[in-house]
Amino acid sequence: MAPTTMTVTNTPAADLALTNLAHCSPLDLQTFAIPGTKLNLALIGDSFGFYRDSISVSRFTPPADFNLTMLTLELEFVKKGIRMNRYFILVEWGPKIDAVALSSQLKERFINQVMTAGQRVSFEHKGTNYIFTVNQAVGPEESTSTERGMISSETYFVFEAPSANGIKIVNQRDDVNSKIFKHKEFNLQTLGIGGLGAEFADIFEELLPPVCSLLMLQIN
């Protein structure tokens, strides 16, 4: 499909800004339909556009093996809550975020959406608006796509948050580490150690923090 030009305008409702979708007329939507699926995907020339900007848009057909194996997301507040009174400033830090619950929510909300490294997406979680930045998008080993892929029911989420932004992530080991070891082949022979793959995987899963485990997997 040859690129076409479309004009950026306001969404019909403010809450649509949290869907990470581009909204257009039903007639235009047919232009981006992927044959054999119920998906409509568009490749936008610029990463974002302002009101009344003209942007180049074309249909995006995903390649084979495009589903993401793992998605690493950095979380931040849309707007950090700061209250001032006469005597002092009170900074309202956000609540703890359960990684299992958030993974389930994001997977349901953004299923079949394409994510790219560096992409920023706004979302709401338990009444608070956040932004996640895609730090890493990992596909299957046979995938030819680099740092881009589609969220599926099998995608694993890893959450990160700088300590200074007040977001605390809990319950991540159970949701991510054990599943990553089951999904990814941990081949110690490539490191010069043979015959103990299962034993070492069990040890790393029990003893190492999430970041260390992921670094080891990246070596393979």
* Mean pLDDT value of segment 59-75: 93
Task: Report the pLDDT value the prediction gives residue 195, as an integer from 0 to 100.
Answer: 52
Give the dihedral sign, CA 136/140/142/145: negative
| pLDDT tens by residue, 112-140 | 999 999 999 999 999 999 999 999 999 98
> What residues does CATH 3.10.330.10 cover in the chain?
70-170
Cα torsion at 121, 116, 158, 138 (round to 10°)? 170
Determine if the pTM surpasses 0.75: no
Residue in this structure with the two tokens 């054999």, named with its chain if needed: 36
Residue in this structure with the two tokens 């044959």, named with its chain if needed: 35
As to burial, measured by CB atoms within 10 angstroms (0-12 exposed, 13-18 middle, 19+ buried), residue 200 is middle
Rg (CA), the chain: 20
Task: Report the 10 Å Cβ neighbour count for 25.
Answer: 7
CATH topology of domain 70-170: Vcp-like ATPase; Chain A, domain 2 (3.10.330)
The pLDDT confidence band at residue 48, using thresholds 50, 70 and 90, is: low
Closest Cα to residue 11, out of 2, 20, 23, 1? 23
Per DSSP, the three-state class of 58 is: strand
Q: Are 69 and 139 in contact (CB under 8 A)?
A: yes
Per DSSP, the three-state class of 182 is: helix
* Mean pLDDT value of segment 192-218: 45
Q: At what angle do helices 197-207 and 210-219 cross, to 10 degrees?
A: 150
